[in-house]
C-alpha cells in the first residue's frame, strides 16, 4: 500500500516566489510613477491658488507682489511649501505688471524626473522643466 504524500514541494514554493518577485518588480515602479504624477496636482493646485490671489491683489493694490508669505497688504499669505511639503513655492515679480510663481520638487518628490519645476505667470501661461532643465510642459500640465 502506497502512502500519498501531501504538501508543497520546495520546487513549487520557489516557483511561486519567483512569480511574486516578477509581479512586484513590475508593480512597484508603476505605482511609484503613479504617486509622483498624482502628487504633482498639489503643486498645480497651489500655483493656481497663487495666481488667483495675485489677481485679487492686483485689483486691490494695482500691482503684483513678490511677497508670498506675509499677509495682505504686504503679501499673499501663503506658505513656502505645499500642504504635504512635496514642493517648495517661490514668487518673483520682475516689474509691477508681471509675476512668475514656481513650484520646485523637494523631498520624496525629487524622484520626479519629468517635472522638477512647475511655473505659472500673470497671463496664465504654464511651464514645466524636467531634471535636466528641458521644457516639459505638455507632460506635466495635463
Which residues are bridge partners to 102 per DSSP? 90, 119
| Residue 77 belongs to some domain of the structure | yes
Say yes or no to pLDDT of 1 above 70. no
Which residues are bridge partners to 89 per DSSP? 103
The pLDDT value given to residue 9: 87
Q: Of 95, 94, 105, 99, which Cα lies nearest the Cα of 128?
A: 105
Q: Which helix (H) or strand (E) holds 112?
A: none
Q: Which helix (H) or strand (E) holds 129?
A: strand 126-129
Question: How many structural domains compose the chain?
Answer: 1
d(CA 90, CA 67): 9
Residue 21, C-beta contacts closer than 8 angstroms, at least 6 positions apart: none
| Residue 122 belongs to some domain of the structure | yes
The residue-averaged pLDDT of 98-120 equals 92
| Residue 81 belongs to some domain of the structure | yes
Say yes or no to pLDDT of 2 above 80. no
To the nearest whole percent, how much of the chain has pLDDT over 70?
Answer: 99
The residue-averaged pLDDT of 48-52 equals 96
The pLDDT value given to residue 5: 72
The pLDDT value given to residue 73: 87
d(CA 93, CA 100): 6
| Residue 1 belongs to some domain of the structure | no
| Residue 65 belongs to some domain of the structure | yes
| Residue 34 belongs to some domain of the structure | yes
Say yes or no to pLDDT of 35 above 70. yes
| Residue 33 belongs to some domain of the structure | yes
Torsion angle (degrees, nearest 10) of CA 33, 139, 114, 89: -100
What is the span of the domain harbouring residue 106? Answer: 10-140
| Residue 3 belongs to some domain of the structure | no
Q: Residue 76, Cα to own-chain centre: how many angstroms?
A: 22
Amino acid at each position: 500500500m502506497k502512502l500519498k504524500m501531501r504538501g508543497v514541494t520546495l520546487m513549487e514554493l520557489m516557483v511561486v516566489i519567483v512569480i511574486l518577485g516578477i509581479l512586484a518588480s513590475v508593480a512597484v515602479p508603476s505605482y511609484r510613477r503613479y504617486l509622483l504624477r498624482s502628487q504633482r496636482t498639489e503643486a498645480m493646485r497651489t500655483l493656481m491658488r497663487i495666481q488667483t490671489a495675485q489677481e485679487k491683489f492686483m485689483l486691490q493694490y494695482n500691482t503684483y507682489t513678490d511677497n508670498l508669505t506675509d499677509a495682505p497688504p504686504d503679501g499673499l499669505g501663503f506658505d513656502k511649501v505645499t500642504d504635504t511639503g512635496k514642493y517648495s513655492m517661490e514668487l518673483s515679480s520682475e516689474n509691477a505688471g508681471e509675476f512668475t510663481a514656481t513650484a520646485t520638487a523637494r523631498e520624496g518628490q525629487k524622484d520626479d524626473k519629468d517635472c522638477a519645476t512647475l511655473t505659472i505667470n500673470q497671463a496664465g501661461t504654464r511651464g514645466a522643466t524636467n531634471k535636466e532643465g528641458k521644457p516639459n510642459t505638455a507632460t506635466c500640465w495635463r
